């Protein structure tokens, strides 16, 4: 019995200290913005590996998501003779929800896991402690540029996914299934508000980018420096990111669009 | 050196693609182009019941859109709904115009239809449209019909 209570207390304490370390790392990352801007080259290099390399998967997936939305939306809407609302449906669901959420999930899988593995391996091969020995702050030199690169790339990727999805929906709905071109765009324009829909989607994607890269760099930085530890940290990054994205999405949607 | 240049170019392209996507979404997908039209003037109208009218619902004359509903509030004195209508600049709404709340299609969105009056002078900013017609509530209509039917059967 005593052992059970002891184990419970131990795991609670270790979880609390993990959370504490994550928050301390976040504070260090946020205050490192000056040195990130000072070493702009490092940020650009990370923007390439975090953003540009995720570009293709995001655009292609967005295109297919939009095509599926167009196809499924059309079959249901045409039952009610409301095919004209297809543009509205495709546009709203992409700009409000699917754009930010799908981009963030893909980003966590493609870039987040790579970040964790990279940083974790640097720790396992003692590159990070090596830097500390040379009086180079690994947080400023290695981790902060990656964090800020993720933070910047995420809204760009979400916008690209929405745009590609709408083009995919247009291709299926208008070009293949024969919804009227003018009605498709005009219904979309009359429902989607620049501030209430598009900008809220961008805010969502900024929040997701922040959370996902924070989880990714922290898991890497905090990984047990063995090959098994790095592997586990990478898994945790993807799982925690997926949870965080979907959970935050509900909260943000309720705040922005719902009347809860 | 060449390799680094390529990276920088690709990052630049990536960010540019993001801006193009934002531009496309703003201009072609959202209503930014429409709302960037210079603001017109506002008119007020009081309705006994606005039904399902919402802010940003369209205002039309003979089916042509001439503005949008900007705010809806409750007039505490008369307990009527006070609706502000934002009319596009250059559109003249004559005095004695009738504003009625209509529905597009059987179950469609509600909008305000204006029937221009016969006077020569135009309404100005913050003027009130005096003649209004409330939304038709389908339930009330049906119950009225049923009661009439019952009355005529009883006779």
Residue ranges covered by each domain of chain B: 2-33, 39-137
Stretch A122-130: mean pLDDT: 90
The predicted-structure confidence for A60-80, as pLDDT tens digits, reads as follows: 999 999 999 999 999 998 888
Residue A26 to residue A35: CA distance in whole angstroms:
15
Q: Which residues contact A91 (CB under 8 A, 6 or more apart)?
A: A166, A169, A188, A191, A192, B29
Q: In this complex, do B11 and A44 lie within 8 Å of one another by their Cβ atoms?
A: yes
User: What local confidence, expressed as pLDDT, does residue B15 receive?
Assistant: 87
Find chain B residues with C-beta within 8 A of A192's C-beta: 29-31
Residue A68 to residue A173: CA distance in whole angstroms:
10
CB A209 within 8 A of CB A104: yes
Stretch B9-16: mean pLDDT: 87
CB A159 within 8 A of CB B18: yes
Nearest 5°: phi and psi at A222? -100, 5
User: What local confidence, expressed as pLDDT, does residue B2 receive?
Assistant: 55
Stretch B69-88: mean pLDDT: 88
First to last CA, chain A: 44
Least confident of A29-38, A151-160, A235-244, B28-37: B28-37
User: What local confidence, expressed as pLDDT, does residue B123 receive?
Assistant: 84
Residue B40 to residue A204: CA distance in whole angstroms:
33
Angle between helix A144-170 and helix A200-221 axes, rounded to 10 deg: 140
Q: In this complex, do B35 and A198 lie within 8 Å of one another by their Cβ atoms?
A: no
Does residue B134 surpass a pLDDT of 80?
A: yes
**Residue B33 pLDDT class (50, 70, 90 cuts):** low
CB A217 within 8 A of CB A119: yes
User: What local confidence, expressed as pLDDT, does residue B58 receive?
Assistant: 83
Distance from the Cα of A107 to chain B's closest Cα (Å) equals 15
**Residue A100 pLDDT class (50, 70, 90 cuts):** very high
Residue A236 or residue B134, greater confidence: A236
The predicted-structure confidence for A228-243, as pLDDT tens digits, reads as follows: 999 999 999 999 999 9
For residue B68, give the chain A residue with the closest CA.
A190
With 0-12 / 13-18 / 19 or more C-beta atoms within 10 angstroms meaning exposed / middle / buried, residue B109 is middle
Distance from the Cα of B152 to chain A's closest Cα (Å) equals 37
Provide ipTM, 2 decimals: 0.77
Find chain A residues with C-beta within 8 A of B21's C-beta: 156, 159-160, 162-163
Residue of A159, A205, A206 for testing the chain B interface, max B β-carbons within 10 Å: A159
Both tokens assigned to B42: 């506002």
**Residue A259 pLDDT class (50, 70, 90 cuts):** low
Stretch A14-20: mean pLDDT: 90
Share of chain A above pLDDT 90, in %: 56
Name which of B4, B14, B34 is nearest A55 (Cβ-Cβ): B14
Q: How many CB atoms lie within 10 A of CB A180?
A: 15
Q: How many CB atoms lie within 10 A of CB A28?
A: 16
Does residue B65 surpass a pLDDT of 60?
A: yes
Does residue A129 surpass a pLDDT of 60?
A: yes
User: What local confidence, expressed as pLDDT, does residue A235 receive?
Assistant: 94
User: What local confidence, expressed as pLDDT, does residue A37 receive?
Assistant: 85
What are the CA-CA distances from residue A120 to residues A116, A131, B21, B155 (Å)? 6, 15, 34, 90
Kindly list the strands in the beta sheet with B128-129, ordered across the sheet, starting from the edge strand earlier in the chain: B128-129, B41-47, B80-87, B64-75, B58-61, B110-115, B98-103, B131-133
Residue of A50, A163, A184 for testing the chain B interface, max B β-carbons within 10 Å: A163
User: What local confidence, expressed as pLDDT, does residue B70 receive?
Assistant: 84
User: What local confidence, expressed as pLDDT, does residue B107 receive?
Assistant: 63
Residue of A39, A48, A57 for testing the chain B interface, max B β-carbons within 10 Å: A48
Mean pLDDT is highest, among A197-201, A203-207, B44-48, for A203-207
User: What local confidence, expressed as pLDDT, does residue B22 receive?
Assistant: 87
User: What local confidence, expressed as pLDDT, does residue B34 receive?
Assistant: 64
Nearest 5°: phi and psi at B94? -70, 165
User: What local confidence, expressed as pLDDT, does residue A78 receive?
Assistant: 87
**Residue A172 pLDDT class (50, 70, 90 cuts):** very high
**Residue A171 pLDDT class (50, 70, 90 cuts):** very high
């Amino acid at each position: 019995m005593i052992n059970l209570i002891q184990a419970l207390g131990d795991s609670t304490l270790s979880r609390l200290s993990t959370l504490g370390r994550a928050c301390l790392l976040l504070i260090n990352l946020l205050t490192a913005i000056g040195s990130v801007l000072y070493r702009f080259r490092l940020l650009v290099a990370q923007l390439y590996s975090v953003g540009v390399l995720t570009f293709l998967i995001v655009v292609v997936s967005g295109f297919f998501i939009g095509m599926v939305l167009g196809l499924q939306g059309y079959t249901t809407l045409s039952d009610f003779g409301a095919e004209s609302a297809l543009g509205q449906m495709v546009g709203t669901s992409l700009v409000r929800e699917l754009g930010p959420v799908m981009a963030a999930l893909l980003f966590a899988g493609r870039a987040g896991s790579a970040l964790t593995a990279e940083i974790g391996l640097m720790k396992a091969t003692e590159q990070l402690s090596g830097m500390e020995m040379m009086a180079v702050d690994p947080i400023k030199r290695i981790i902060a540029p990656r964090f800020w690169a993720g933070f910047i790339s995420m809204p760009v990727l979400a916008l690209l996914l929405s745009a590609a999805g709408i083009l995919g929906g247009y291709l299926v709905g208008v070009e293949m299934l024969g919804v009227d071109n003018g009605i498709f765009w005009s219904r979309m324009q009359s429902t989607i508000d620049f501030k209430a829909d598009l900008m809220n989607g961008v805010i969502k994607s900024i929040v997701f980018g922040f959370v996902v890269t924070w989880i990714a760099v922290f898991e890497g930085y905090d990984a047990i420096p063995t090959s098994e530890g790095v592997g586990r940290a990478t898994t945790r990054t993807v799982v925690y990111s997926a949870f965080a994205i979907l959970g935050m999405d509900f909260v943000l949607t309720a705040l922005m669009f719902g009347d809860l | 050196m060449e390799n680094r240049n390529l990276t920088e170019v690709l990052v630049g392209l990536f960010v540019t693609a993001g801006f193009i996507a934002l531009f496309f979404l703003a201009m072609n997908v959202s209503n930014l182009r429409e709302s960037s039209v210079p603001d017109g003037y506002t008119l007020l109208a009081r309705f006994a019941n606005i039904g399902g009218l919402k802010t940003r619902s369209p205002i039309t004359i003979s089916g042509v859109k001439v503005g949008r509903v900007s705010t809806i509030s409750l007039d505490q004195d008369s307990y009527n709904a006070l609706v502000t209508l934002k009319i596009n600049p250059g559109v003249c709404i004559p005095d004695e115009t009738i504003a009625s709340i209509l529905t597009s299609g059987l179950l469609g969105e509600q909008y305000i239809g204006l029937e221009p009056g016969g006077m020569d002078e135009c309404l100005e900013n913050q003027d009130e449209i005096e003649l209004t017609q409330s939304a038709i509530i389908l339930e009330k209509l049906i119950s009225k019909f049923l009661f009439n039917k019952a009355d005529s059967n009883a006779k």
